[in-house]
């Protein structure tokens, strides 16, 4: 079956407005993810002219009977600037600002335990001065470990402090983790994500449910976990991400844990760094438009 992409570009107001064009439309996205971890349709606008152009009050529609279906906010596109817009039906008319607060290569406190650690190990107040310190990722066997652990390591426990200056400015919190074979993650002592392991909490020497292969070392992407109810978990100021990562068995040929923590802010923010490309994390406008097989801009 063949699909024909129909894009209609209507009239524009202003002498320079005709330089704004629908540059690209993707109606079956499987590559790029939004801040919720979804892969909605998207389209891209381009200012091909030499002057700034405001698109405040412009509309986009996929319905010929409803031209003003979704209005653009007060945004100005600079010459040769592109703007990706999600056709997701999520109706978010403000630009989001993602910042990766914990990145691959960041320094963590870590422990490879030979006995059960203190039950308070995942809290912000825990004294980890006796723990070792090194860069992420942690593991052995895959050649992608900044900190190489001994072969047959059953588990490794990680601690990393991060800062949030204003919780009200955070619109979502995303944890991306590349792992082999399982893990439980906590923020300020509260479990926020887990994969492939049982137990609350799992014993330090627990194996995982089954094998799970890491992805980054072979060109893949980490697994994404959207943290809900983050406003009741985060502190203003210091917070801590803690992770216990487990191997499937002592005889396993490899172990990996590489975490990324990204906060999406509703205003510009200088915390952390821009999300690395491997996260495929794009946070832009979300229109009420869903069907990109028929788009109209005016």
Is the domain of 200 the same as that of 245? Answer: yes
Prior bond to 137 cis, omega within 30? yes
> Cα angle at 94 between 91 and 99, to 5 degrees?
115
Backbone angles phi, psi at 278, to 5 degrees: -65, -20
Q: In this structure, is residue 186 part of a structural domain?
A: yes
Cα–Cα distances (Å) from 262 to 108, 229, 259, in that order, read 16, 15, 10
Instruction: Say yes or no to pLDDT of 61 above 80.
Output: no
Is the domain of 50 the same as that of 187? Answer: no
Is the domain of 181 the same as that of 77? Answer: no
Of 73-87, 96-110, 126-140, 265-279, the range with the lowest mean pLDDT is 73-87
pLDDT value at residue 14: 47
Is the domain of 91 the same as that of 102? Answer: no
Backbone angles phi, psi at 91, to 5 degrees: 55, 65
Residues with Cβ within 8 Å of 4's Cβ and at least 6 positions away in sequence, in order, are none
Alpha-carbon 39 to chain mean position: 12
**Could you tell me if 102 and 261 are in contact, meaning their C-beta atoms sit under 8 angstroms apart?**
yes
Q: Please write the tens of the pLDDT for every residue from 217-254.
A: 999 999 999 998 999 999 999 999 999 999 999 999 99
Place of tokens 């290569």: 105
pLDDT value at residue 71: 83
Cα–Cα distances (Å) from 176 to 222, 260, 276, in that order, read 6, 5, 11
**245: domain range?**
98-279
User: Averaged over 174-190, what is the pLDDT?
Assistant: 98
Is the domain of 81 the same as that of 118? Answer: no
Instruction: Say yes or no to pLDDT of 292 above 70.
Output: no
* pLDDT above 70: percentage of residues in the chain: 90
Q: In this structure, is residue 1 part of a structural domain?
A: no
Is the domain of 120 the same as that of 249? Answer: yes
67 vs 160: which has the higher pLDDT: 160
Is the domain of 179 the same as that of 67? Answer: no
User: Averaged over 65-78, what is the pLDDT?
Assistant: 81
Pairwise CA distance, residues 182 & 31, whole Å: 25
Instruction: Say yes or no to pLDDT of 289 above 70.
Output: no
Q: In this structure, is residue 220 part of a structural domain?
A: yes
Query: What CATH number corresponds to the domain at position 118?
Result: 2.60.120.260
* pLDDT above 90: percentage of residues in the chain: 56
Q: How many domains does the structure of the chain reveal?
A: 2
Is the domain of 261 the same as that of 183? Answer: yes
Q: In this structure, is residue 254 part of a structural domain?
A: yes
Residues with Cβ within 8 Å of 9's Cβ and at least 6 positions away in sequence, in order, are 21, 22, 296, 297
Instruction: Say yes or no to pLDDT of 149 above 60.
Output: yes
Backbone angles phi, psi at 95, to 5 degrees: -70, 135
How much is the mean pLDDT over the chain? Answer: 87
Which H helix or E strand runs over 99? strand 97-102
Alpha-carbon 70 to chain mean position: 26
User: Averaged over 151-166, what is the pLDDT?
Assistant: 97
Is the domain of 149 the same as that of 260? Answer: yes
pLDDT value at residue 220: 92
Is the domain of 104 the same as that of 86? Answer: no
Query: What confidence tier does 2 reach under pLDDT thresholds 50, 70, 90?
Result: very low
> Cα angle at 103 between 97 and 107, to 5 degrees?
140
Pairwise CA distance, residues 77 & 95, whole Å: 13
Backbone angles phi, psi at 217, to 5 degrees: -65, -20
Q: Please write the tens of the pLDDT for every residue from 13-47.
A: 444 557 888 888 887 887 777 777 788 888 888 89
Residues with Cβ within 8 Å of 205's Cβ and at least 6 positions away in sequence, in order, are 154, 155
Is the domain of 10 the same as that of 116? Answer: no
Which pTM value belongs to this model? 0.76
Query: What CATH number corresponds to the domain at position 24?
Result: 2.60.40
Q: In this structure, is residue 164 part of a structural domain?
A: yes
Q: In this structure, is residue 104 part of a structural domain?
A: yes
Residues in the chain: 298
Q: How many CA atoms lie within 13 A of 245 on its CB side?
A: 28
Backbone angles phi, psi at 83, to 5 degrees: -135, 115
**β-bridge pairing 147-148 and 138-140:** parallel
Q: In this structure, is residue 54 part of a structural domain?
A: yes
Query: What confidence tier does 7 reach under pLDDT thresholds 50, 70, 90?
Result: very low
pLDDT value at residue 291: 55
Q: In this structure, is residue 12 part of a structural domain?
A: yes
Pairwise CA distance, residues 3 & 19, whole Å: 28
Is the domain of 167 the same as that of 202? Answer: yes
pLDDT value at residue 129: 97
């Amino acid at each position: 079956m063949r699909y024909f992409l129909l894009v209609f570009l209507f009239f524009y107001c202003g002498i320079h407005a005709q330089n704004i064009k629908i540059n690209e439309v993707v109606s079956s996205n499987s590559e790029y993810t939004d801040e919720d971890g979804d892969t909605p349709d998207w389209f891209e606008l381009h200012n091909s002219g030499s002057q700034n152009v405001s698109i405040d009050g412009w509309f986009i529609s996929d319905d010929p009977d409803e031209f003003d279906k979704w209005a653009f906010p007060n945004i100005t596109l600079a010459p040769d600037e592109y703007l990706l817009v999600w056709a997701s039906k999520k109706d978010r008319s403000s630009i989001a600002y993602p910042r990766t607060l914990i990145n691959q290569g960041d320094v963590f406190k870590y422990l490879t335990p030979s006995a059960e650690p203190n039950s308070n190990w995942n809290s912000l107040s825990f004294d980890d001065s006796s723990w070792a310190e090194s860069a992420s990722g942690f593991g052995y066997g895959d050649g992608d470990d900044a900190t190489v652990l001994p072969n047959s390591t059953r588990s490794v426990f990680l601690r990393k402090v991060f800062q949030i200056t204003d919780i009200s400015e955070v619109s979502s919190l995303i944890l991306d983790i590349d792992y082999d074979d399982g893990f439980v993650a906590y923020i300020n002592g509260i479990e926020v994500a887990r994969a492939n392991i049982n137990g609350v909490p799992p014993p330090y020497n627990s194996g995982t449910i089954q094998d799970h292969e890491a992805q980054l070392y072979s060109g893949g992407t980490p697994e994404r976990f959207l943290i809900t109810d983050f406003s009741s978990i985060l502190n203003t100021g210091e917070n801590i991400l803690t992770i216990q990562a487990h191997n499937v068995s002592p005889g396993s040929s490899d172990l990996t844990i590489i975490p990324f923590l990204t906060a999406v802010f509703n205003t510009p923010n200088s915390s952390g760094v821009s999300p690395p490309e491997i996260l495929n994390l794009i946070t832009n406008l979300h229109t009420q438009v869903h069907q990109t097989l028929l788009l109209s801009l005016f």
